[in-house]
Structure 1
Amino acid sequence: MAKKETSGIVVSNKMNKTVTVIVRRPTSHKKYSKVISKTSKYYVDDPMNICEIGDQVRIQETRPISKNKRWIIIERTKVT
């Protein structure tokens, strides 16, 4: 089974070895057909503590690392 990949923006790096990433995806409203932006927040494993707030990252789904962490960082695509 293929692992899911997505990209998002780091919004918090206050935890040790963990960052919070916001992923935005456009969706169409069922009734009005207007494109709206849905957001999801993921806790992502950052073992080297290299990510800063505002960095754009690619993340991949993985086995559960802790209670809430199920994603790992593949690469930082845009560094602020």
Structure 2
Amino acid sequence: MPKRVLQGVVVSDKQDRTIVVKVERRFTHPLLKKTVRRTKNYHAHDENNSAKVGDIVLIEETRPMSKLKCWALVQPEAQG
């Protein structure tokens, strides 16, 4: 089974080797036919503490590393 890869914005980097990434998904409401935005925060492992708040990053699904972390930083994509 392939690993999922998500793109989002770093909202917190205060923890050691952990970042919090806000991922937004958009979909059309089935009844109202209006575009709806939903966001969710994911805790991701950042081995080198390279990501900073505001960076746009890619995260990849991994094995569970702690109670909340089961994602890992793939690469910083661009500065936000």
Please, what TM-score do these two structures have when normalized by structure 2? Answer: 0.95
- Equivalent in the alignment of 2:50: 50
**One-letter identity of the residue aligned with 1:3:** K
Secondary structure of 1:52's match?
coil
Q: Which runs of 4+ in 1 moved over 3 A?
A: none
Q: CA deviation at 1:52?
A: 0.6
Q: CA deviation at 1:25?
A: 0.9
Q: Any gaps of 5 or more consecutive residues in structure 2?
A: none
Q: Any gaps of 5 or more consecutive residues in structure 1?
A: none
Structure 2 CA distance, aligned partners of 1:12 and 1:23? 13
Percent identity reads 36
- Equivalent in the alignment of 1:36: 36
State the Cα RMSD in Å.
Answer: 0.8
Aligned residues: 80
- Equivalent in the alignment of 2:75: 75
Deviations, residues 22-59 of structure 1 (Å, cap 9, x unaligned): 00010111210100111111000011111110000011
**One-letter identity of the residue aligned with 2:8:** G
Structure 2 CA distance, aligned partners of 1:46 and 1:17? 5
- Equivalent in the alignment of 1:17: 17
**One-letter identity of the residue aligned with 1:14:** K
- Equivalent in the alignment of 1:26: 26
